[in-house]
Structure 1
Amino acid sequence: MEHEAASVEDQGWARETRRAAWLLGWPRAVGVSAAVFAALGCGQVTGLLLWPQAQAWPHLWTATMLAVGALSLVLGRCGVRDWAVALGTAAFLPAAWMTVLTLQALWPTQAPMTPGFSDDSFRIAVLMVIAWNGAGLAHRLSDLRPPRRKRQAT
């Protein structure tokens, strides 16, 4: 749709076409980033089941923030917009708690009781800010990269 909007003379139609392309694209972007961060939450809790001593690890929250930052850079590099990555980050803590509940139902004596840190509301806000900045940084870095030159056929 973007190519159609760029090749037409009617600016009103081009603006509406770009808006429609944007509206059709954002649910997929938020869904992809939500799936990635939900998988991170599930993986963290499953890791606590496999390595119970990690529950007392003092740097678990720091490692979580670093993982969110790294995944945000990857998602931003793949073209997911920064606000979509930040919205998708909101799926991290609910997915982690649902994994805790599922593991407690399956293995009541061995399952972790928490995702490894308290579920204060500021933690999700911190993760969203990290995700927003990570994806935005990836976009800015890709803008600085020189364009690829096409190879000439020999």
Structure 2
Amino acid sequence: MTTNGSPRTVLCVDAPEALELTETAIAEHPQTTTVGVTSVADARSVLSERRVDCVVTGNELADGSWYDVVETLRAEAPDTPCVLFSEVVPDEIADGSIGGLLVEFHSRLLSDAYDRLAVATTELARLGDVDDDAPSYDDFSESGRPDAV
């Protein structure tokens, strides 16, 4: 989990021609860094080597699709938010069910698509923040109340 104030990392998986725009939009938000890859294989490598706070994936990749990225993400870090960022509407995506796999779908067809994606991704990446001042599990007694200090 990321501690409040620490940079959040967003893994961007997209076709080479779209990756730079996606990364640039997300990285413009404070406290957010990106790791960009253009294949399912590279996404698997990143997810097995490091923790990310959110994943944004395009629909079609050179060696697979968004579905392959999400399957890997759910195996490596099942609670990590994921966004499908595509010009294809969900009803037209034939290679797997979106239900239960993705937190959000964002359309590239909107005039402000990249701005919307950046705001949503920044918020989703914060879901894993840890509040340093909040009581931890160890702070509670068997009664379920915080122990006296």
TM-score tier, shorter chain, comes to: under 0.3
Q: Which has the higher helix share?
A: 1
The higher relative CO (CA closer than 8 Å, separation ≥ 6) is in: 1
TM-score (norm 1): 0.26
Q: Which has the higher strand share?
A: 2
TM-score (norm 2): 0.27
